[in-house]
Amino acid sequence: MNKLKYIRKEVSIPDTFQNIDNWEVDRRKFLRATLLAGAATQISWFTSCSRQLEQANDYLTAEQSTILKDILMIIFPEDGNGPSANDINSFGYILWVLSDNYRKPEDNEYIMEGINWANETSIEIYDQPFIELSKEEQEKMVELFTEMEWGKNWMSVMVTLVLESLLLDPIYGGNTDEKGWQWLDHVAGVPRPTEETRFESFIHKYKPGQI
Amino acid sequence: MHDICVIGSGAGAGPVIYELSKAGYKVVVLEKGPWIKTEDFTKDEMTATRRDAYIPRHEDEPQVIESPTSSGYKARSTDEGGSDFQNGSCVGGSSNFMSAYFHRLKPKDFRLLSEYGPINGANVVDWPISYDEMEPYYTKVESEVGVSGKVVEHKHLEPRSTPDFPYPPLNSNAVADWFVKAGSELGYNIIPAARGIISTPKKDRKACYHSNYCGSFGCASDAKGSSRAALIPQAVETGNCEILPNSKVFKLETNENGKVIKAHFYNQTGVAQEVEAKIFVVACQAIETSRLLLMSKSEQFPNGLANNSGQVGKNMIFAGGGAGSGILKYDDLSEEDAKALANKNTFVNRCLKDFYEIDDPTFEPCSTSEKGKVKGGTIDFLIEHSNPMPKAVRNKYDNGTLLYGSALKEKLITYFTDQKRVRFEIFCDWLPNDNCFVSLDKEVKDKWGDPVAKVRTGFHNRDIEIGNYLADKAMNVLKQMGAYEIGKSVTGNPPGNLIAGGCRFGNDPKTSVLNKDCRAHEVENLYVTDGSFMPTGGSAPHTFTIYANSFRVAEKIKEHISKI
């Protein structure tokens, strides 16, 4: 069955997504279910995936990393108009965010919940993990996210993170070679942060124990 | 025992710390936050605004905000997200992060009730002092803290004892002249606006170097007149002033005579400690000041310190008004003008005070007023701040639809490189009323286990009417300048950074907490010197007046302690 028909805008949300909307009532419950589902399919992903997976890191598995990078490139694509998410290292910036324990733990869990949710939704619709979808299919999935309450909120968070990776100081991993600032003709304020004054150093110095 | 214990170190505390230390009295300052050094203030959005490192984490020190809704007041803890009233928890307090628009109040602001009559539903009163009593201290702030600008004649110019500001005007973007020209074409007198930022060096402070990252950011040259940069160093130099950062006061203890004898505080490791002093001065920004007094219960003060009148926390005020903006497109301008507008200097420093008082018979509040006129306010003109994240975030949506992909990128490049957003801010009275007050929340606690402040933010509809009247005038100016997408936002949502009231001063102990010297009616050695004293807030940001009043009260404290 061609499940693409289910994600056309004019078609009402199929039962799968109605269920997902219900799950939003209890995000934690949904997360647990999604994680279990992810664990069950993990081995087959590694063996069947034709694309090269990102390296795992301290915060994301290889497949989570690949999903995230794919979504970031949809949010900020290579389209000839300024830098792409890859050009400004949005992925690396988000890894820094995930390492930042000044944030509430649930804020970072939320990023990962969304990645898992994207994958689970892909499997529900296409019987394939997100990274196995064609670019067009991935774009349709992301469009679908923005039409769903929980997905829209998660996407909004991700867009903000991409904007941070575009415009915050390169010291935090994004805005590679100040490409974001150059593209938007932005002149940074001085003094800029140094290793001694960057956020983590500031917190260590003035709010010890909070990071 | 110290002579003076000051709780807080911002604009309301700085002048007392400075004056009493210089007069030879032993001053101890208990500041909740850290002592951030100038060299650690960068223009890093991550630290300043994305992670809000200058305020406590909401989970550590939440506040509960009760906002008006169509179905009554709804409470939420700031730990759950949304706006808050934290504005800089560090030595110097929120004065480190102000934009420093320094407008004096007008003589009529000191007698709002007499000038304009009562307003149904608003607790408007006259101040117990006149403008003339405050004027010398405005002048003192201009020289000691440092105010730059240029005095020009206009119909609401307040009396001054000096002809001009001690520091010349800061540089401004060329658009400043365009505002003036557009105003002139409309018959409006747009004039220079003063800033609490020095334009030439003063002692160890350097002149403003126009980083263009001003409001919300600490100053890296100490040009901005924060209490930390302008006053506290000289107090410390005397050898009479001891600053204790990371010291959160949670109770003022009184003796059997009802005098404050100790301030109890938690140090950085959470250990409860105490200091003794002859006189106590509370200045922790208005909400936290009321909270501390309400928390300081005793046999003599079962409802909180100095609160046998039941007035502590009542009649909180914010800054009424709102803001608006329009877009100037480079393509509409000559090459020379486009280049001038694109200049990175975001200072405009122009304002419109023609409507500080409104006597327009077509304006309904005037026609129904027994005086035929109502209090108006100030319009400040400015350019959108330089820091890019707020600009980017405001482009996330298009008519409510989240943007991403090429559509987002196109919107960003257009917004950042084809145009400049010019803005206005409206300041009018936030009328004191029975639904704007601070109490202690019965459930939510801070990280030390103490009850947090619950702030009800009811507003008077007159504030909205005045705000809209003024915003319409400002929008006329933007239209005259050829701006696009002109809009305004005037709501009853209080700005999180302009807070006053809660311990209003007055002559009647039944209706006020403080006497005209800002000493508690009920406690002979307790003063409150932040914005809490203000029974009405005027139509301008409060900071200049808070500074001036603190210098005024410092004189009263000197007189008082010399007799102890």
Query: Cα separations (Å) of A138 from A18, A64, A161, B368?
Result: 20, 14, 19, 62
- Does the distance separating the beta carbons of A183 and B392 come in below 8 Å? no
CA distance A193 to chain B (A): 6
- Does the distance separating the beta carbons of B59 and A181 come in below 8 Å? no
- Does the distance separating the beta carbons of B53 and A163 come in below 8 Å? no
CA distance B179 to chain A (A): 24
Instruction: Inform me whether the C-beta atom of residue B390 falls under 8 Å from chain A C-beta atoms.
Output: no
Q: How many residues does chain B have?
A: 564
- Does the distance separating the beta carbons of A192 and B413 come in below 8 Å? no
Q: How confident is the model at residue A7 (pLDDT cuts 50, 70, 90)?
A: very low
Chain B neighbors of A199, CB-CB under 8 A: 44, 46-47, 51, 53
Residue A187 within a domain? yes
Pairing of strands B350-352, B260-266: unpaired
Determine the pLDDT at residue A52: 65
Domain that holds residue B80: 2-561
Cβ-based neighbour number of residue B508 at 10 Å: 12
pTM strictly above 0.90: yes
CA distance B485 to chain A (A): 21
From B415, which residue of chain A is nearest by alpha-carbon distance?
A: A184
Instruction: Inform me whether the C-beta atom of residue B388 falls under 8 Å from chain A C-beta atoms.
Output: yes
Residue A42 within a domain? no
Scan for tokens 């050898």, then name that residue.
B239
Nearest C-alpha neighbor of B22 from the set B202, B243, B203, B235:
B235
Instruction: Inform me whether the C-beta atom of residue B392 falls under 8 Å from chain A C-beta atoms.
Output: yes
Instruction: Quote the CA–CA distance of B71 and B326 in Å, as a whole number.
Output: 34
From B217, which residue of chain A is nearest by alpha-carbon distance?
A: A189
Domain that holds residue A87: 60-206
Among the partner-chain residues A166, A172, A189, the one whose CB lies closest to the CB of B213 is A189
- Does the distance separating the beta carbons of B410 and A142 come in below 8 Å? no
Among the partner-chain residues B53, B212, B344, the one whose CB lies closest to the CB of A199 is B53
At position B271, the amino acid (one-letter code) is V
CATH number for the domain that contains residue B461: 3.50.50.60
Residue A2 within a domain? no
Count of alpha carbons within 13 Å of B262, Cβ hemisphere only?
12
Name which of B32, B40, B46 to mutate to probe chain A: the one with the most chain A Cβ atoms within 10 A of its Cβ: B46
Chain A neighbors of B408, CB-CB under 8 A: 75-76, 159
Name which of A76, A184, A202, A211 to mutate to probe chain B: the one with the most chain B Cβ atoms within 10 A of its Cβ: A202
Determine the pLDDT at residue B79: 92
Chain B neighbors of A77, CB-CB under 8 A: 405-406, 409
Is the pLDDT assigned to residue A6 strictly greater than 50? Answer: no
Cα(first)–Cα(last) distance of chain A, in Å? 50
Residue A139 within a domain? yes
Instruction: Quote the CA–CA distance of B474 and B353 in Å, as a whole number.
Output: 11
Chain A neighbors of B51, CB-CB under 8 A: 100, 102-103, 199
Name which of A163, A179, A181 to mutate to probe chain B: the one with the most chain B Cβ atoms within 10 A of its Cβ: A163
Determine the pLDDT at residue B78: 96
Residue numbers in chain B where pLDDT is lower than 50 = none
Q: How confident is the model at residue A148 (pLDDT cuts 50, 70, 90)?
A: confident
Among the partner-chain residues A79, A160, A192, the one whose CB lies closest to the CB of B42 is A192
HEC letters along B54-107:
CCCCCCCCCCEEEEEECCEEEEEEHHHCCCCCCCCCCCCHHHHCCCCECCCCCH
Nearest C-alpha neighbor of B171 from the set B208, B144, B146:
B208
Total domain count, chain A? 1
Instruction: Quote the CA–CA distance of B311 and B503 in Å, as a whole number.
Output: 7
Total domain count, chain B? 1
Is the pLDDT assigned to residue A35 strictly greater than 60? Answer: no
Determine the pLDDT at residue A51: 57
Residue A36 within a domain? no
Chain B neighbors of A142, CB-CB under 8 A: 404
Determine the pLDDT at residue A211: 82
- Does the distance separating the beta carbons of B387 and A168 come in below 8 Å? no
Scan for tokens 């200091």, then name that residue.
B275
Scan for tokens 């774009």, then name that residue.
A139
Cα dihedral B154, B156, B159, B162, rounded to 10, equals -40
Is the pLDDT assigned to residue A18 strictly greater than 60? Answer: no
Name which of A101, A167, A203 to mutate to probe chain B: the one with the most chain B Cβ atoms within 10 A of its Cβ: A167
Q: How confident is the model at residue A150 (pLDDT cuts 50, 70, 90)?
A: confident
8 A C-beta contact, residue B88 and residue B97: yes
State residue B487 phi and psi, 5-degree precision: -150, 170
From B58, which residue of chain A is nearest by alpha-carbon distance?
A: A104
Chain A neighbors of B90, CB-CB under 8 A: 206
Chain B neighbors of A81, CB-CB under 8 A: 406, 409-410, 413
At position B506, the amino acid (one-letter code) is G
Which residues make beta-bridge pairs with B514? B505, B520
Chain A neighbors of B341, CB-CB under 8 A: none
B466 sits in which H/E element: helix B461-480
- Does the distance separating the beta carbons of A193 and B46 come in below 8 Å? yes
Residue A105 within a domain? yes
- Does the distance separating the beta carbons of B405 and A74 come in below 8 Å? yes
Q: In B, residues 521-560, which contact A (CB 8 Å cutoff)?
A: none
Name which of A172, A185, A206 to mutate to probe chain B: the one with the most chain B Cβ atoms within 10 A of its Cβ: A206
Residue A92 within a domain? yes
Determine the pLDDT at residue A15: 32
Chain B neighbors of A163, CB-CB under 8 A: 389, 392-393, 396
Indicate if the alpha-carbon torsion angle B326, B329, B330, B336 is positive or negative. negative
Determine the pLDDT at residue A208: 93
Determine the pLDDT at residue A8: 29
- Does the distance separating the beta carbons of B45 and A163 come in below 8 Å? no
- Does the distance separating the beta carbons of A163 and B396 come in below 8 Å? yes
Cβ-based neighbour number of residue B74 at 10 Å: 11
Helix residue spans in B328-383 (DSSP H): 335-342, 364-367
- Does the distance separating the beta carbons of A163 and B393 come in below 8 Å? yes
| DSSP structural state of residue B331 | G
Determine the pLDDT at residue A33: 41
Is the pLDDT assigned to residue A14 strictly greater than 90? Answer: no
Among the partner-chain residues B36, B409, B416, the one whose CB lies closest to the CB of A186 is B416
Is the pLDDT assigned to residue A23 strictly greater than 60? Answer: no
Chain A neighbors of B404, CB-CB under 8 A: 74-76, 142, 146, 155, 159
Instruction: Quote the CA–CA distance of B156 and B133 in Å, as a whole number.
Output: 18
Instruction: Inform me whether the C-beta atom of residue B53 falls under 8 Å from chain A C-beta atoms.
Output: yes
Sheet holding B64-69, edge to edge: B72-77, B64-69, B451-457, B436-445
Q: How many residues does chain A have?
A: 211
Is the pLDDT assigned to residue A187 strictly greater than 90? Answer: yes
B295-301: long-range contacts at Cβ-Cβ below 8 A with a sequence spacing of 24 or more? Answer: B295/B250, B295/B251, B295/B440, B295/B450, B295/B451, B296/B251, B296/B252, B296/B253, B296/B254, B298/B253, B298/B254, B300/B254, B300/B256, B300/B258, B301/B254, B301/B258, B301/B522
